[in-house]
C-alpha cells in the first residue's frame, strides 16, 4: 500500500525510547520504526511528542456559550441548573448547533480527537438539542469521533414525559445513556431505570453523581451494586463524585477498591468542581475536586474532562484538556514526573479506556489520529501547557497552530564587539 505521509522522529508518550518514524497509509498507521526508508511526503517532528489526540469524556456542547443569557449571582449548582433550565426553553436547533460548533472547533484546535458529549433530553427541550448534536457529529466526523450521551439533567421519575423522550433518543441513535440521580426525587428508581434502558439498548452508562461535599451518603454504592447485578462492569462511568474530595485516605481506599472491582470509571471535572463546590464557605474554601490520581492507585480508570464552557456551571473554558490536566495537578498538589505523567494519561489513554475505544493509540493498524505537541516529555507537556502544533484525523490534517516566534532586534555591533 502506498505511504501517504511519514512523520519523522516523533517521541511517543508511552515509550522512553528514542524518537521514531510513523508511516501513514489510507488513513491508518502503516508502520512505526526507528528509521523508515520510503519515498513519500514527510513532516519532521525533531523529537517532539506525538500523541493519539486528547480524549474528552464529559462535555456539554448543547449548553455551552450561554453566559450572556444567564444571571447567577450566588454561583451555586442549584442556581446553575435552574438558570439553564429557563434558558433552555428558548433553544432552537440552529442555536444549539451554532454554539456547539463553536465549542467543538475550539476542542479540535486544542488537539481533541475523541469526545463524549452529554445532551439534555426532557419535555422543555425535547429532542431539539439531540438532533442538533447528531448533525454536528456527522458534519465534523473528519476531525473528531463524537459520542452522544442522552441524559435527563433535571431528573427522570419527577419529570413526566422525560423517559419517553430518552427512549426516543436511544431509538434514534444515542451512543450512551446518562443519568443524574441527584436532581431526582427518587434517585434509586432513577438509577435502576437507567440501567434497564442501557440493557435494553445495549449502551454504556455515564452518570452525573455525588456532586456535593456531604460524605455521609453516596449514590456510588448503589451504582456499583447495579453494575454488578447487571454485569455491566467496564461500561459505567460516574462524573464529578466531589464527595470523594472530603473522605480520609482509608475510606478512599475502600471506595477505590469497590469502584475498581465493579468496573466503574470516574471522571473528574476540575474547572466546574472548583467553581461550584464549597459555596457555603466565605473563607477556607474546600477545593471539592476528587483525588483522581489516588483513585488510579486503587485501580480505578479515571479521566479529567472539561464539562462546561462559558455557562453558569463554568464561566471559563478554552477546551484545552492539557489545561485541565495542569489545573488538576495544581489543585491536587502533584508535581513529580510520575504524577504529572498520570495527569496526561487522564486526558489520553485512560479516557479512551473509559469510552471503550479499542482502536485508540499509536499502533500499526489503528486510525492515523495523531497530534503533535511542542514538547519532548509527557510530564513537562502538562507542567508547561505545551502547545498542540498540528493534528491529523484518519491521516488528514485537521488543524494547525503556529508555534510562537521571538523577533529579536538586530545584533548591536558595539555590544557584540565589547
Ligand atoms: Zn456534566
Q: What is the pLDDT of residue 141?
A: 98
Task: Decide: helix, strand or coil at residue 133.
Answer: helix
How far is the C-alpha of 177 from the C-alpha of 163, rounded, in Å? 11
CB 66 within 8 A of CB 317: no
In three state form, how does the secondary structure of 347-384 look?
A: CCHHHHHHCCCCCCCCCCCCECCEEEECCCCHHHHHHH
Q: What is the pLDDT of residue 72?
A: 86
pLDDT in tens, 38-76: 999 999 999 999 999 999 999 999 999 999 999 888 889
Q: What is the pLDDT of residue 74?
A: 87
Residue 11 CA to ligand 1 center (angstroms) comes to 33
Residue 272 CA to ligand 1 center (angstroms) comes to 9
DSSP 209-263: E--SS-TT--THHHHHHHHHHTT-TTSEEEEE-GGGGGS-HHHHHHHHHHHHHHT
Residue 123 CA to ligand 1 center (angstroms) comes to 19
Residue 178 CA to ligand 1 center (angstroms) comes to 10
How far is the C-alpha of 220 from the C-alpha of 319, rounded, in Å? 28
Residue 281 CA to ligand 1 center (angstroms) comes to 23
Mean pLDDT of the chain: 96
Residue 405 CA to ligand 1 center (angstroms) comes to 37
Mean pLDDT, to the nearest integer, of 279-288? 95
How far is the C-alpha of 60 from the C-alpha of 84, rounded, in Å? 12
Phi first, then psi: give them for residue 201, nearest 5 degrees: -105, 5
Q: What is the pLDDT of residue 302?
A: 98
The CA-atom distances, in angstroms, between 193 and each of 58, 117, 197 are 21, 21, 6
Mean pLDDT, to the nearest integer, of 252-272? 98
Nearest to 292 by CA among 352, 251, 233, 342: 342
Residue 342 CA to ligand 1 center (angstroms) comes to 22
Residue 244 CA to ligand 1 center (angstroms) comes to 17
Q: What is the pLDDT of residue 75?
A: 87
Residue 119 CA to ligand 1 center (angstroms) comes to 9
pLDDT in tens, 315-371: 999 999 999 999 999 999 999 999 999 999 999 999 999 999 999 999 999 999 999
Percent pLDDT > 90 in the chain is 93
Q: Which helix (H) or strand (E) holds 29?
A: strand 28-33
Q: What is the pLDDT of residue 15?
A: 67
Q: Residue 1 pLDDT > 90, yes or no?
A: no
Residue 372 CA to ligand 1 center (angstroms) comes to 28
Q: What is the pLDDT of residue 138?
A: 98
pLDDT tier, 271 (very low <50, low <70, confident <90, very high otherwise): very high
pLDDT tier, 192 (very low <50, low <70, confident <90, very high otherwise): very high
Residue 59 CA to ligand 1 center (angstroms) comes to 6
Residue bearing cell 439531540: 130
Q: Residue 413 pLDDT > 90, yes or no?
A: no
Residues within 5 Å of ion ligand 1, judged at the Cβ atom? 307
Q: Residue 418 pLDDT > 50, yes or no?
A: no
Residue 41 CA to ligand 1 center (angstroms) comes to 42
Nearest to 388 by CA among 327, 319, 341, 332: 319
Residue 239 CA to ligand 1 center (angstroms) comes to 7
Q: What is the pLDDT of residue 13?
A: 82
Q: What is the pLDDT of residue 417?
A: 54
Residue 15 CA to ligand 1 center (angstroms) comes to 33
Amino acid at each position: 500500500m502506498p505511504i501517504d505521509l511519514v512523520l519523522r522522529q516523533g517521541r511517543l508518550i508511552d515509550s522512553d525510547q528514542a524518537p521514531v518514524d510513523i508511516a501513514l497509509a489510507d488513513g491508518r498507521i502503516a508502520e512505526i520504526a526507528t528509521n523508515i526508508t520510503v519515498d513519500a511526503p514527510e513532516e519532521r517532528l525533531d523529537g517532539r511528542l506525538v500523541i493519539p489526540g486528547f480524549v474528552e469524556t464529559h462535555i456539554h456542547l448543547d449548553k455551552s456559550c450561554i453566559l450572556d443569557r444567564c444571571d447567577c449571582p450566588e454561583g451555586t449548582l442549584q442556581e446553575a441548573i435552574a438558570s439553564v433550565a429557563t434558558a433552555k426553553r428558548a433553544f432552537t436547533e440552529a442555536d444549539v448547533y451554532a454554539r456547539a460548533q463553536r465549542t467543538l472547533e475550539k476542542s479540535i484546535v486544542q488537539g481533541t480527537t475523541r469526545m463524549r458529549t452529554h445532551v439534555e433530553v426532557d419535555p422543555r427541550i425535547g429532542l431539539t438539542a439531540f438532533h442538533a448534536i447528531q448533525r454536528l457529529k456527522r458534519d465534523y466526523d473528519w476531525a473528531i469521533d463524537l459520542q452522544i450521551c442522552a441524559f435527563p439533567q433535571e431528573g427522570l421519575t419527577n419529570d413526566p414525559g422525560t423517559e419517553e423522550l430518552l427512549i426516543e433518543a436511544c431509538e434514534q441513535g444515542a451512543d450512551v445513556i446518562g443519568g443524574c440521580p441527584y436532581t431526582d426525587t427518587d434517585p434509586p428508581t432513577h438509577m435502576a431505570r437507567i440501567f434497564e434502558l442501557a440493557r435494553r439498548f445495549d449502551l454504556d452508562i455515564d452518570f452525573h453523581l455525588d456532586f456535593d461535599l456531604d460524605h455521609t451518603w453516596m449514590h456510588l454504592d448503589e451504582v456499583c451494586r447495579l453494575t454488578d447485578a447487571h454485569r455491566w462492569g467496564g461500561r459505567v462511568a460516574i462524573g464529578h463524585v466531589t464527595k470523594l474530595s472530603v473522605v480520609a485516605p482509608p475510606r478512599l481506599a475502600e471506595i477505590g477498591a469497590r469502584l475498581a472491582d465493579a468496573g466503574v470509571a470516574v471522571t473528574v471535572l476540575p474547572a466546574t468542581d472548583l467553581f461550584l463546590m464549597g459555596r457555603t464557605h466565605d473563607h477556607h474554601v474546600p477545593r471539592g475536586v476528587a483525588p483522581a490520581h489516588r483513585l488510579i492507585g486503587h485501580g480505578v480508570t479515571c479521566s479529567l474532562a472539561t464539562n462546561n464552557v462559558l455557562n453558569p456551571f463554568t464561566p471559563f473554558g478554552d477546551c484545552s484538556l492539557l489545561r485541565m490536566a495542569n489545573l488538576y495537578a495544581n489543585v491536587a498538589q502533584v508535581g513529580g514526573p510520575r504524577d504529572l505523567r498520570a495527569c496526561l494519561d487522564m486526558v489520553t489513554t485512560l479516557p479512551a479506556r473509559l469510552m471503550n475505544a479499542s482502536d485508540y493509540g499509536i499502533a500499526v493498524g489503528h486510525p492515523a489520529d495523531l497530534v503533535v505537541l511542542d514538547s519532548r516529555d509527557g510530564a513537562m507537556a502538562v507542567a508547561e501547557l505545551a502547545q498542540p502544533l498540528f493534528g491529523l484525523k484518519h491521516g488528514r490534517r485537521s488543524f494547525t497552530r503556529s508555534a510562537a516566534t521571538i523577533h529579536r532586534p538586530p545584533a548591536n555591533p558595539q555590544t557584540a564587539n565589547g
